[in-house]
């Protein structure tokens, strides 16, 4: 079996593993902690494991650098669709969740969520 085939099988299995582990961890944390800390720990689990560690297992150092490189071509005049695709999810997310969050959030939480977005 070649390395390419191994990556294909891993690629097919990762969504199933993601759903299984995330559901399990979320359910355990929900039983173990109050709602606010459980939410924080679930958030941290997902982002640290699935959005940081797993991608780093498959990327080379040069590919990681490219993730943070500025791609000026992405925002050229002919790429207006790309700009719209970047802005619309932010506007929809903030338009839906932000008004309700303003009622119960503190200033540091609001600033942090804005910076993360």
Average pLDDT for 65-93:
76
Q: Where is mean pLDDT largest: 15-19, 34-38, 57-61, 105-109?
A: 15-19
Q: How buried is 87 (Cβ within 10 angstroms: 0-12 exposed, 13-18 middle, 19+ buried)? A: exposed
Residue 61 CB neighbours (<10 A): 8
Rounded distance between C-alpha atoms, residue 95 and residue 99, angstroms = 7
Average pLDDT for 27-37:
90
Where residue 27 falls among pLDDT bands split at 50, 70, 90?
Answer: very high
pLDDT for 96 beyond 90: no
Mean pLDDT of the chain: 82
pLDDT for 79 beyond 70: yes
pLDDT for 78 beyond 70: no
pLDDT at res. 73? 67
pLDDT at res. 21? 93
């Amino acid at each position: 079996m070649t390395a390419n085939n191994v990556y294909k099988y891993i690629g097919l299995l990762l969504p199933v593993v993601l759903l299984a582990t995330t559901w399990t961890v979320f359910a355990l944390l929900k039983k173990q902690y109050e709602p606010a800390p459980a939410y924080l720990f679930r958030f941290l689990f997902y982002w640290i494991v699935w959005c940081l560690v797993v991608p780093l297992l498959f990327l080379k150092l040069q590919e990681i650098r490219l993730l943070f490189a500025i791609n000026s071509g992405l925002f050229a005049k002919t790429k207006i669709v790309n700009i719209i695709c970047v802005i619309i999810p932010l506007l929809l997310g903030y338009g839906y969740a932000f008004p309700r969050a303003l009622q119960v959030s503190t200033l540091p939480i609001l600033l942090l969520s804005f910076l993360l977005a």
